[in-house]
Each structure stands twice: as structure tokens, then as C-alpha cells.
Structure 1
Amino acid sequence: MRWRGGRRSDNIEDRRGQGSPRGIGRGRGIPVRLPRGRGGKLGLVGVLVVVGISLFLGIDPTVLLQGGMQTRPQQEVRRPVADDDLTQFVSVVLADTEDTWHALFESANQRYQEPTLVLFSGAVQSACGYAQSAMGPFYCPGDQKVYLDLSFFKELHNRFGAPGDFAQAYVIAHEVGHHVQTLLGISQKVHEQRSRLSEVEGNKLSVRLELQADCFSGVWAYNADRSRNILEAGDIEEALNAATAIGDDRLQKQSTGTVVPDSFTHGSSEQRVRWFMTGFENGDVRSCDTFGTNDL
């Protein structure tokens, strides 16, 4: 993939190396009672307590010192984004999805709202709850952020046998595809329908949602290459290899030796490949209607 020298996105939030206590960060405040001196001001003991609490929670002591007894939501502190090669790559790919989807939304007289990509290590707190790296990359519609532990790319190469920078780009584009579904109102409709269905029927809806995100990633690849000539020989094969490697049937076969289609939530390897290619060959969002077909 030709990515070096490309525009880098500003929508990267680097949380690597930061602790994420379970239960903190859902937008709910942390009530803290602080010892006070005369006039309601913090005394020396109060300051020491504040510093101790801050060190324990891993936050800036001034947040509590300024807030007094008020209940405050957890503060997001943006750290400078690391400048290593892989982080640069992720930033450029995210920027490329921004450019592509801005253009596609504008052509439909709509406005594209850019998501944030959160880099984390080990575990992370999102608006969708507490998540660990073992879950893989994910998108949270609650805060419109993509969450990615970069160690997944090493796992994609070593465990799943899907190396290559465009395999990694496909993963990012797929999660951004979920953001597009959120902006278009598709994710909310699926969520509402799933709440009224059995688990098996709900899984079938999830498969359609995931396959559409695969198709949207193909739409991105088509339009990005047409506009900026990003593809190199073998890139599409890398994406297809990754789509095959993380199909539900392949993963179930590897982990349990048994394939149970009713438990699929993302689609089979063949389906994921087919829908990525549908998006890539057509370059049109309208070709990605996975909800209006009986042939997935």
C-alpha cells in the first residue's frame, strides 16, 4: 500500500500505557468527599488526600483540587501521539478513510462526521463498556470511536496467517464502516430489531451488519485507489486473506473443531470475501445492501 507521505489524521487518541480502572469512564462522576478547613477551603490534610486519590486513579490532581466536593466525570487527557512507524501508518489510513467518506457523503448531500481512533494496550474503557485486547478491534457507537490495540496486527500475521499492510488497512476500514452505519442510522435500527428477536435471529442480523461493514471497506478501497492511487500489487489479496482468516467458520474450526452457523455473528470466510469484493468492484454504497438480499 502506498501510504508514506500521506496526510495524517488528527483524530488519534493514544491511551497506550494508561490504566483504565474497571467501572470508571462511563460518563458517570466519581463522588469524592474532601477534608476542608475553615471557610470551606482545603487544608493541608485535604490536599494530601487529593494527591493520594489522584495517584491511585491516575488522574491530574488539579482536576479534584479545582472541583472540590463536586462530582466530576472522568477527564479525557490527550497525550501526544507516538511517532513510531505503525502509528504513522494507522494515522494515514484513518485520514484516507476520512477523505473518502467526506467525498462520498458530500456527493449524497450529507455531512460526514469523522470518528476518533483510540490506540490502547491490554484493556480500555469505552462508552460501550470495559474491553480487553482479546476482543480484537471494535467500534463503539456510544462515543463514535474505533478502539485498536496494535498488537492485533502482530496476531493477524502470526496467528491468523494474514500479513501485509493492506490487511491491516482492511481491519481499520471495516471498523470505520461501522461508523458509517452509525451515521446512516443503520446500526440503531439493527439494535432495535435485535432486542425483539431470538438469539439465533439476532445473530443473523449481526452477520448482515458485519458483512455490510466489509462491503463499505471495499467501497473505501475502490474510491481511495481511484483518487489517490494507493494500491500496490498484492494488496487486495492481502485484504481477502485477512477476511478469510477471520471468518466465523474458520475461527470456530480452529478453536473447537466444529462449525455452528447459527452462532455466526460476523459471517463466513466466503461471505466476508464476497462482500468486500462487492464493495471494491462497484465502489458504490448502494451495492452494499446486505439487508435486502437473501443471498449473503
Structure 2
Amino acid sequence: MKWEGQRQSENVEDRRDAGGGGMPGGAPGGRRVGGRGLGLGTVAIALVAGWIFGINPLTVLGLLGGEGGGMVQPAPQVQTAPAVRPPPDPLGRFVSTVLADTEDVWRELFRAQGGVYQDPKLVLFRGATPTACGTGQTAMGPFYCPGDQKVYIDLAFYQTLRDQLGAPGDFAQAYVIAHEVGHHVQHLLGITAKVDAQRGRISETRMNALSVRLELQADCLAGVWAHHAQRSRQVLEQGDVEEALNAAARIGDDALQRQAGGAVRPDSFTHGTSAQRVAWFQRGLGGGRMADCNTFDARRL
């Protein structure tokens, strides 16, 4: 992915110096990971548990952290003040540049439809950090919190993505950010609130099915971003699209269930199959139209 020398976002909160260890600076896809807190083995367990069983990752983290009842408590030891300087390391600068590109694309798309795009914040942290959705921890993987309109990521996740989930490459990493920004777009459009309003009103199986449609739409919106980023700035290099498609395939519910050694249980899917995730990303990438991402009216996913 061509990213060096491009604009970096001013909406990055770098909390990594607040304590908790983590990944030192390295190039995108680098191997250097260290620090305290949950190890990468625990990261993989939490990711698989959340993806396969439809468990709120905050609950997973509460259990892994030894907190009673699965309830996530604040982490007062982690400072929340954002750094005023841009991320100093190459990987931090990379995600900041990707975020800036999503800002450029979504501002223009919202403007074209008579709306105003509100930029999300991207929070870099190590180990744990407080959020409006509870305590975020490394084991959650990247996530979006609608309560504060922020995307959270411990960059150590990228080693998990490469080494344990088999999805290397800088554009695979960019896809992760774009997917979470897709959830922010859904929040701004009121889609997330409509889905959440069904929680407790319908069966778990039907709620899981709605979750699948929400996640596949975020995949499609990530593809929409990639389409416009390529058309405007020619960011793609040979093999980039394949990296994103591979990442989408590796985190399909069926693939993760097989990786965990269990039976494939479609009624427990919360993110969609590998084939579905690939197809919806490709749909957004191919046309670049938000209207093509209406997974909720699609008869077949």
C-alpha cells in the first residue's frame, strides 16, 4: 500500500506511553511485540470466543481478566489524555495515515449526499484503556465504541492477525481500520442503534443474524473506502487486494470455528462466513457505492 508521505490524521489519541507495555515502534507488519498484560495466546482465545459464540468482547475480557460476573470495570491506572504529537513510530504513522484517508473518503461521500461526516477518533493503547463502552483490553482486538465514537486498537493485534490468523500485509492491516470506521459510519447513519434496539426483544439466533448483517455491511463499507482511495490517490500496490480478501476470509465465523477445532454452527455466527465477508468487501470495492452495502434488505448474503 502506498502510504508514506501522505497526510496523517489529527484524530489519533496515542495512549501507549500511559503504561501497560505493548509493541515498540516498527514497520507495518513488523514482528516486535512485548510488554505486560494478556499474552498473544490469550488474545487469540478471546478473539475466537467472541467471534464464534457471539459474546460481547467486553464480557470475554472481564472473564479473562478475572473480574466478577463478567462485568467490565474501569481501569483507573490507565491515563486517558491524548498525546498531542503524531505517533512517532512507523506502525503508528501507518494507521494514522489510513485513518486520514478514510476521513477524506467519507467526508466527500457524506457531502455528496448532503450530509456532514463526523470524524471518529483512533485510540492507540497497550494492554488496557478506559472507554465509554467499558474497559478495552488487548484481547478484544480492534473495536469501535459508539458511546465515544472512537476506534480502539492495540497494535499488537497485527502480529496476531499475521502469525495466528494467517493474514499478513499492510493492506490487511488497513482493512482492519477501515472495517472499524465502517462501524462508525453505521453509527452516524443510525443503523447500529436500530440493531441494538432489537436486543432482548428477539431470540439469540435472530440477534446473531442481525449481527452478521451489521458486520458484513461494515466489510462492504471498508470496500467502498478502498474503491475511492484507489480512484483518488492510487494507494493500491500489487497484491494489496488479495491481502484484504485473505484477511476477510481468515476471520469468517466458519473459518474460526474450524480453527478452534469445533463443529461449524451457523446459528452462532455473528460476523458471517469467510465467503460472505470476502463477497461483501468485494462488492463495496467494485462499485464504491454505499447503496450497494444494504445487507439488511439482501435476500442472500
User: Counterpart of 2:123?
Assistant: 118
Query: Which AA in structure 1 matches 2:192?
Result: S
- Superposition deviation, residue 195 in structure 1: 3.0
Match of 1:77 among 66, 71, 81: 81
- Compute the TM-score of the two structures, normalised by the length of structure 1: 0.81
Distance 1:120 1:256 in 2: 31
Could you tell me how far apart the structure 2 residues matched to 1:285 and 1:81 are? 31
Compare CA radii of gyration and give the structure with the larger one: 1
Tell me which amino acid in the other structure corresponds to 1:78. P
State the shift of 1:19 in Å.
5.2
Structure 1: gaps spanning 5 or more residues = 26-55, 60-75
Instruction: Give structure 2 stretches of 5+ with no counterpart.
Output: 21-64, 66-71
Residues 203, 263 of structure 1: 8 Å contact kept? yes
SS of the residue 1:194 aligns to:
coil
Does 2:292 correspond to 1:287? yes
Task: Give the conservation status (yes or no) of the 8 Å contact 1:138–1:148.
Answer: yes
CA deviation string 1:126-167 (max 9, x = no partner): 111113211210000000000001011111111111111000
Structure 2 counterpart of 1:220: 225
1:11 aligns with 11
Cα drift, residue 204 of structure 1: 0.4
CA distance in 2, matches of 1:181, 1:58: 29
Distance 1:231 1:208, change over 3 A: same
Q: Which residue of 1 aligns with 2:114?
A: 109
Offset at residue 258 of structure 1 (A): 1.4
Contact preservation (8 Å) 2:144, 2:184: yes
Residue 295 of structure 1 and its aligned partner are, at CA, apart by 0.3
CA contact (8 A) 2:217 2:280 kept: yes
Structure 1 pair 283–232 and aligned structure 2 pair: CA distance change class (3 A): same
Partner of 1:176: 181
Tell me which amino acid in the other structure corresponds to 1:24. Answer: P
TM-score (norm 2): 0.80
Superposition pairs of residues 172-251 of structure 1, within 5 angstroms: 172-251=177-256
Distance 1:187 1:78 in 2: 27
Shift in alpha-carbon separation, 1:239–1:130, aligned structure 2, 3 A: same
Q: Tell which deviates more after alignment, 252-261 or 98-107.
A: 252-261
Match of 2:73 in 1: 23
* Cα distance change, pair 19–200 in 1 and its aligned pair in 2 (3 A): farther
The aligned counterpart of 1:270 is 275
CA distance in 2 between counterparts of 1:219 and 1:275 reads 10
Q: CA offset at residue 57 of structure 1?
A: 4.9
Using the alignment, how far apart are the partners of 1:289 and 1:105 within structure 2? Answer: 16
CA deviation vs aligned residue, 1:200-242 (integer Å, no higher than 9, x gap): 1100000000000000000000011001110111110000000
CA distance in 1, matches of 2:135, 2:209: 25
1:136 aligns with 2:141: yes
Equivalent pair of 1:194/1:205 in contact (CA under 8 Å): no
Identical aligned pairs, as a percentage? 59
SS at match of 1:291: helix
Aligned residues: 250
Distance 1:195 1:231 in 2: 43
Secondary structure at the aligned position of 1:262 is classed as: helix
Residue 220 of structure 2 contacts residue 282 of structure 2 at CA under 8 Å; is this kept in 1?
Answer: yes
1:81 shift after superposition? 4.2
Q: Aligned-residue CA RMSD in angstroms?
A: 1.7
Tell me, in whole angstroms, the C-alpha distance in 1 between the residues paired with 2:211 and 2:78: 37
